[in-house]
Amino acid sequence: MQLELRIEKLVQGGEGFARLPDGRACFVQGALAGEFCRVELTRDKKDFAHGKLVKILERSPDRETPRCANYNKCGGCSLQHLSAEKQALYYESVSRENFRRLAHADLPENFKIHMGPAWGYRNRARVVISRAKDGKVRYGFRMQKSNGIIPFANCPVLTPAVNEFLKANASKIYEESVQNAKRPPRNFELDVNVFDNGNGKVSYYYKGMPAADFEKKAVSVVEIAGKKIRSDASVFFQSNLSLLPELVYAVQNAVDEGIASGEASDAWLIDLFSGVGFFAAILKDKFKKITTVERDDGCLKHAKENLSGGGNVENVSAPAEDWLAKNVVDCPATLIVDPPRTGLPPSALDAIVKSSVNRVIYVSCDPVTLARDFTKFREAGFCLKKAEGFAFYPQTPHLEMLFVLSR
């Protein structure tokens, strides 16, 4: 069935929102606010529908021709049709709506979206390398809603260094993997993580890489805020080094304000979901005691290196909720949480609100789960002191946020 619909707004995920003649919500990928579109329904449910954009009958002035030839094929960017200048407004409006809808509260009037370069920013990616039927090695990203591969020669959101590295080395890495793992030379796909440290080195990692090669080929060091942070291409690290200093500055300010106000103290920094110890390493000199908690052993090894050199530091390998259940936080410690997209586990959140912590710096990669967690903090007497957004992934609907909560 095809219908002509007026798109009211963009919603979480970057889809256009319209109303069907019967009043149901319809979500249309690729449509922009204000556009009048011909839409084919692809999913028709009792309370909502999804539609495919067939034709734009009235075009938004904010529409832009996607820069990438693989747009709508690759499973990556899905917002290239919205001009880069307008993406900050999208992030802000969707964040405010999510917060009102899910938390029944308003974000502060001074809520700011931090933006970096719109293109050539992504320093970390996972690509797939394989051999085609003609014998040539190709690399690309996974297709949208499929395990197929979309080859590319130059991805416009990857840093120039990553693009150049893949052109020069994809075939070598594939052959290296075949030789190391004694795989058949055809009919297998190699997932490879690549990481540009912003200072001339691109590292890489694939499952099965010999341990003897790991230090030389996978490990890298990033310099941020005057600190050298060790990581490797197999573990999580931020994918936008150009914007990362702004998040660091915001966290540093939140820490300083908390200590100055007395809501927190310099007695103890607790960094939950700490990864490679990134925030703790940058803030180390401000605290008498530091605890990082991270369940990934690969990250923990780097955290120990990044926080070495004296001081009262413990790097704990455990799920955050398990550590909180076994350890009493009986002082106004400075607490930073940086959980995955699923947000804080309920048991971790309960342990935080029952502790003596009066100030939480929450770094979130999913505004929806952040709004959910905020409602529980609010019930425990916390209020929102500061909120900022960080567009680490331009051309996509994804936004990271920083909340400072206190009671």
pLDDT digits (tens, 9 = 90+) for 276-331: 999 999 999 999 999 999 999 999 999 999 999 878 999 999 999 999 989 989 89
Identify whether residues 339 and 375 lie together within a single domain: yes
And the tokens for 266? 């310099």
Residue 24 placed within a domain: yes
pLDDT digits (tens, 9 = 90+) for 123-149: 999 999 998 888 889 999 998 877 889
Residue 271 placed within a domain: yes
Burial of 339 (0-12, 13-18, 19+ CB in 10 A): buried
Look over the chain and give the mean of its residue pLDDT values, rounded to a whole number.
Answer: 94
Identify whether residues 217 and 313 lie together within a single domain: no
Tally of domains in the chain: 3
Q: Of 197, 232, 267, which marks where a domain is finished?
A: 232
> Pick the residue with more confidence: 74 or 336?
336
C-beta neighbour count of 256 within 10 angstroms: 14
pLDDT digits (tens, 9 = 90+) for 243-279: 999 999 999 999 999 999 999 999 999 999 999 999 9
Q: Are 396 and 14 in contact (CB under 8 A)?
A: yes
Mean pLDDT of 205-230: 95
Residue 65 confidence class, pLDDT cut points 50, 70, 90:
very high
Identify whether residues 341 and 387 lie together within a single domain: yes
Residue 73 placed within a domain: no
Q: Are 339 and 382 in contact (CB under 8 A)?
A: no
Residue 141 placed within a domain: yes
* Distance, CA of 33 to CA of 200 (rounded, Å): 41
Mean pLDDT of 174-197: 85
We report the CATH number of the domain holding residue 35 as 2.40.50.140
Identify whether residues 41 and 162 lie together within a single domain: no
Identify whether residues 351 and 212 lie together within a single domain: no
Does 183 have pLDDT greater than 70? no
Which DSSP helix (H) or strand (E) runs through 160?
A: helix 160-181
pLDDT digits (tens, 9 = 90+) for 370-387: 999 999 999 999 999 999
Identify whether residues 279 and 359 lie together within a single domain: yes
Residue 80 placed within a domain: no
Candidate from 74-78, 167-171, 206-210, 337-341 with smallest mean pLDDT: 74-78
Candidate from 82-96, 111-125, 174-188, 389-403 with smallest mean pLDDT: 174-188
Question: Which residues contact residue 53 at a Cβ distance below 8 angstroms, ignoring those fewer than 6 apart?
Answer: 28, 29, 30, 31, 37, 38, 39
Q: Which residue intervals of 74-157 are DSSP H helices?
A: 84-98
Does 98 have pLDDT greater than 90? yes
Query: Which pLDDT value is given to residue 220?
Result: 96
Identify whether residues 145 and 58 lie together within a single domain: no
The size of the chain, in residues, is 407
Q: What percent of the chain has a predicted confidence (pLDDT) above 70?
A: 99
Query: Which pLDDT value is given to residue 72?
Result: 86
Identify whether residues 172 and 249 lie together within a single domain: no
Residue 44 confidence class, pLDDT cut points 50, 70, 90:
very high
Q: Of 232, 261, 294, which marks where a domain is finished?
A: 232
CA distance to 97, 112, 333, 337, per residue, from 375 (Å): 15, 21, 22, 16
Candidate from 30-44, 58-72, 179-193 with smallest mean pLDDT: 179-193
Residue 181 placed within a domain: yes
We report the CATH number of the domain holding residue 137 as 2.40.50.1070
Query: Which pLDDT value is given to residue 165?
Result: 98
Residue 72 placed within a domain: no
Identify whether residues 248 and 386 lie together within a single domain: yes
Identify whether residues 201 and 319 lie together within a single domain: no
Does 180 have pLDDT greater than 90? no
For residue 191, what are the domain limits? 124-232
Confidence (pTM): 0.94
Identify whether residues 337 and 193 lie together within a single domain: no
Query: Which pLDDT value is given to residue 106?
Result: 95
Mean pLDDT of 344-358: 94
Identify whether residues 284 and 222 lie together within a single domain: no
In angstroms, how far is the first alpha carbon of the chain from the final one? 53
Strand 9-10, strand 16-19: pairing: antiparallel
| The CA-based dihedral angle spanning residues 122, 123, 126, 127, taken in that order and rounded to the nearest 10 degrees | 80
Residue 320 placed within a domain: yes
Candidate from 25-29, 130-134, 190-194 with smallest mean pLDDT: 130-134
